[in-house]
Amino acid sequence: MIRGMRPVVVAANWKMNTTPADAGELARTIASRTRVQGVTRVICPPFVCLAAVRDALTESDPTVGVGAQDVHQELAGAYTGDISAPMLAGLADWVIVGHSERRRDHGETDDQIGGKLARAIEAGLRPILCVGEQLADREAGRAVDVAEGQLAGCLAEHDVDRLFTAGLVIAYEPVWAIGTGRTMVGSDAAAMAEAIRGSLAALGWGEAAGEVPILYGGSVTAANIGEFLAEPALDGALVGGASLKPEEMAGIVGRAGLTAAARLSAVP
Ligand code: PEP
C-alpha cells in the first residue's frame, strides 16, 4: 500500500444466493473477468459456499479475497445457527459486519456489531463495517447523525491503531438504496463519505480518518459505478445484486481500475 493513497476495493456480497454446487464456478468466472490492476477484489458468498469459493479462487486467482457476510460477537457457546470468527479460519480473510439486512432481520445493535469487529480483527479477518440511514432519516435531514451514531456505537471500545492496522473498510450504504434499484446521486454519497471521515476524526482517529477506504453500496451496477467513482472521496463499492452477474462485475471492476490507475499516476 502506498502511504496516503487509499486502495480501490470492490466487494461482492452474494447475500443468500448460490449453493456449494455452483458458487465455485461463479467465483472463477467473476475472477477471470475482473483481472484489473490496482483493484482489491473480494467475494463474500454464504457461509456454506466459503469452502467452494476458496478452493476455486486458490486454484484460479488467489488475488481475489474471500469474505464472510457476518460473524458472531462471541467466540463460542449456545448461539444456534451462528458462526464464530475461529470457525472462519482458513475459509475467509474478510468479513462484512453490520450489514443493514442483519440489523433489520436479526436486530443487530451497534454494541453487538462492535463485538463482531473485535472478534474479526482478533482472528485476522479484514472487516467491512456497514453504516447508513433509512429513507425517513434522510428525508428528515438526519443522515449524517445516523451514520455518526452508528460509527460511535460500533467503534466505541476499539483501539484506532488496531482497527486501522487490521485494514478496516467502511461501506456507506443508504438503506433505501439497497436492493431497490434506487441509487444515490454520486455527489451526495461523496458528501456522506466526507462526513464519515469527519466523524472518525471527531472520534480521535487523527490522520487515519483520511486513510480509511470508504465504499459506496446501494444498487451499484456497471452502468452507474462511474458516477460514484468520479468522486475522489469514494474508494470503491460493496455490490449486492449485480455481483452475481459476471458481466456486471466486469464493468464495475473495469471502471474501478481506471480510478486505481489515476490515483497511482497522481503519486509524485
Ligand atoms: C449490499 O448488499 O450491500 C448491497 C448494496 O446490495 P445491492 O447492490 O443489491 O443494493
Q: What is the pLDDT of residues 222-255, one digit of tens each?
A: 999 999 999 999 999 999 999 999 999 999 999 9
Q: E-assigned strands of 153-218? A: 169-172, 214-217
Whole-angstrom Cα distance, residue 161 to residue 175? 29
The verdict on the CB of residue 100 being under 6 Å from ligand 1 is no
Expressed in angstroms and rounded, the spacing between residue 96 Cα and the centre of ligand 1 is 12
**What whole-number percentage of the chain has pLDDT above 70?**
99
**Average pLDDT rounded to a whole number, residues 71-86:** 98
Residue of 17, 172, 178 best suited for mutating to test ligand 1, as the one with most atoms within 8 Å of CB? 178
Global pTM? 0.96
Run of H or E residues at 126 = strand 126-131
Q: Could you tell me the pLDDT band of residue 182, with boundaries at 50, 70 and 90?
A: confident
Contact 241, 14 (CB under 8 A): no
Q: Could you tell me the pLDDT band of residue 170, with boundaries at 50, 70 and 90?
A: very high
Q: Could you tell me the pLDDT band of residue 156, with boundaries at 50, 70 and 90?
A: confident
The verdict on the CB of residue 179 being under 6 Å from ligand 1 is yes
Whole-angstrom Cα distance, residue 33 to residue 252? 11
